[in-house]
């Protein structure tokens, strides 16, 4: 291949007898590109070579034949040997990193082939050999579009890879302010399957940027309950998956979607659900027995490739349940916060960290109504 002004000259092997088209018509199936985007091109035979050009590509750099599944190739030598599909250029690099982030995202660029360099830009311009050479991970703290191109050591360049990484802004619904992140509750114990979390003592709570296990205080015998909200912008079928060691489960609006329970090495399980537009409550439960520990949570949906599951939650004081005075039917009072409601029981915690599990029907009618409304509020999509 040789670039000649606005054209590319393509050389072929085994053309001693010359070139022709199978139907003696115009050559079909050539595309040409200058900035990584290919356009259909005109091609003419010039001896044992073919000249390829397109008015849409004044400065061509790449050419391909028969690469589009809709195209037909009719080029052959005079002995009837057909020209096989090909594409010039090297492979575009991969761009990896958290596409939605709260404070910072670390971006890694990966070459598909060796013997060359990746050049990239952060200002939206097309990368060339004068652009920055990738040597170390890139840290970004604002919404940024990264464009990258691989240059082989022989000078052949790839098409442009492009990805946008967005800084998440706070979201509001009602009186609540949501930030990117997931609230968690941490427990310790020994289990062979996911426990009933409502009966466990919470050892600590907090907010995590994503689903991970870094908040655990030991390597074995612990459990985590994650809660957040996912904003569904396009209705349709969504797939959720967890990869865990040991057990995990994922719920959407309190409906079990992924059951990855039990003692096992890292395995991936998934489930599908049809979702309407709006906010959905996401709950992920995990326990670690012994040995290795892994938790990865991903999803995909309409126009969304498989990626880490981004969730939003209330952060700071707004994420703490308010103190309330509960009264049972005999008139005994307790001032506490709600921890969880399950199986017609409510778990309460006082400011001195003492916990109580109380049958809901033992409380006053007013408190029972309050708990019904609390459960409904936790289940209904935020607006």
Reading phi first (left if > 0) and then psi (alpha if -120 to 50, else beta), residue 378 is in alpha
Q: Each residue of 127-145: pLDDT tens digit? A: 999 999 999 999 999 999 9
218 CB-near residues (< 8 Å, 6+ apart): 188
Q: How confident is the model at residue 123 (pLDDT cuts 50, 70, 90)?
A: very high
Backbone phi, psi, residue 379, to 5°: -95, -35
Confidence of residue 36 (pLDDT cuts 50, 70, 90): low
* CB environment 39-62: b (16+ within 10 A), e (fewer): eebebeeeeebbbbbbeebeebbb
- The radius of gyration of the chain from alpha carbons, rounded to an integer in Å, stands at 30
Looking at domain 94-167, its CATH class is: mainly beta
Distance between CA atoms of residues 357 and 197, nearest Å: 12
Cβ neighbors of 205 (< 8 A, separation 6 or more) are 183, 184, 185, 186
Which tens digits make up the pLDDT trace of 194-203?
999 988 999 9
Q: pLDDT tens digits for 251-275?
A: 999 999 999 999 999 999 999 999 9
**Topology of the domain comprising 173-316:** Jelly Rolls (2.60.120)
Given the DSSP bridges, would you call strands 161-167 and 100-101 parallel, antiparallel or unpaired?
parallel
Please provide the size of the chain in residues. 383
Long-range contacts of 167-175 (CB under 8 A, 24+ apart): 167/101, 167/102, 167/141, 167/142, 167/143, 168/100, 168/101, 168/102, 168/310, 168/312, 171/231, 171/312, 173/279, 173/382, 173/383, 174/382, 174/383
| Listed range (165-169, 317-321, 368-372) with the worst mean pLDDT | 317-321
Asked if 313 contacts 298 with a C-beta cutoff of 8 angstroms, the reply is no
pTM over 0.75: no
Compute the Cα dihedral for 319, 323, 328, 334 and give only its sign. positive
Burial of 165 (0-12, 13-18, 19+ CB in 10 A): buried
* Residue 121 DSSP SS3: strand
- Residue partners of 275: CB distance under 8 A and separation at least 6: 232, 235, 236, 237, 238, 252, 301
Q: Could you tell me if 261 and 247 are in contact, meaning their C-beta atoms sit under 8 angstroms apart?
A: yes
**3 state SS of 318:** helix
Tell me how far the alpha carbon of residue 61 is from its chain's centroid: 32
CATH of domain 321-379: 2.30.30.700
Closest CA to 26 of 38, 40, 16, 39: 40
Residue 310: Cβ-neighbour burial (10 angstroms; 0-12, 13-18, 19+):
buried
pLDDT at 38 over 80: yes
Q: Once rounded to an integer, what is the mean pLDDT over residues 56-62? A: 86
Q: In this model, does residue 318 exceed pLDDT 50?
A: no
Q: Domain locations in the chain?
A: 2-87, 94-167, 173-316, 321-379
Token pair listed for 78: 């005079």
Place of tokens 């088209």: 21
């Amino acid at each position: 291949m040789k670039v000649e002004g606005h054209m590319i000259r393509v050389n072929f092997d085994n053309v001693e007898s010359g070139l022709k088209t199978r139907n003696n018509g115009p050559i079909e199936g050539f595309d040409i590109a200058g900035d990584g985007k290919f356009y259909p091109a005109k091609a003419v035979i010039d001896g044992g070579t073919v000249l390829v050009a397109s008015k849409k590509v004044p400065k061509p750099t790449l050419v391909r034949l028969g690469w589009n599944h809709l195209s037909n190739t009719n080029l052959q030598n005079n002995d009837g040997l057909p020209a096989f599909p090909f594409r010039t250029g090297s492979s575009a690099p991969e761009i990896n990193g958290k596409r939605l982030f709260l404070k910072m995202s670390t971006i890694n660029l990966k070459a598909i082939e060796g013997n060359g360099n990746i050049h990239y830009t952060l200002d939206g311009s097309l990368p060339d050999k004068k652009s920055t050479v990738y040597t170390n991970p890139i840290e970004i703290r604002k919404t940024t579009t990264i464009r990258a191109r691989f240059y082989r050591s022989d000078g052949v360049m790839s098409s442009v890879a492009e990805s946008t990484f967005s800084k998440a802004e706070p979201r509001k619904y009602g009186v609540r302010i949501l930030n990117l992140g997931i609230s968690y509750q941490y427990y310790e114990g020994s289990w062979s399957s996911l426990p009933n979390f409502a009966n466990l003592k919470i050892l600590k709570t907090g907010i995590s940027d994503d689903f991970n296990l870094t908040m655990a205080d030991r390597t074995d015998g612990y459990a985590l309950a994650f809660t957040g909200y996912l904003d569904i912008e396009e209705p349709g079928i969504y797939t959720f998956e967890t990869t865990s060691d040991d057990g995990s489960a994922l719920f959407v609006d309190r409906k079990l979607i992924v059951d990855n329970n039990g003692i096992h090495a890292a395995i991936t399980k998934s489930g599908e659900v049809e979702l309407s537009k709006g906010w959905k409550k996401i709950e992920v439960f995990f326990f670690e027995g012994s040995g290795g520990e892994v938790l990865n949570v991903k999803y995909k949906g309409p126009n969304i490739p498989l990626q880490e599951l981004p969730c939003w939650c209330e952060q700071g004081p707004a994420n703490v349940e308010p103190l309330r005075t509960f009264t049972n039917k005999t008139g005994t009072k307790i001032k506490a916060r709600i921890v969880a409601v399950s199986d017609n029981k409510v778990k309460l915690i006082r400011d001195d960290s003492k916990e109580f599990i109380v049958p809901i029907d033992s409380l006053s009618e007013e408190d029972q109504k309050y708990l019904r409304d609390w459960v409904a509020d936790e289940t209904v999509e935020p607006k």
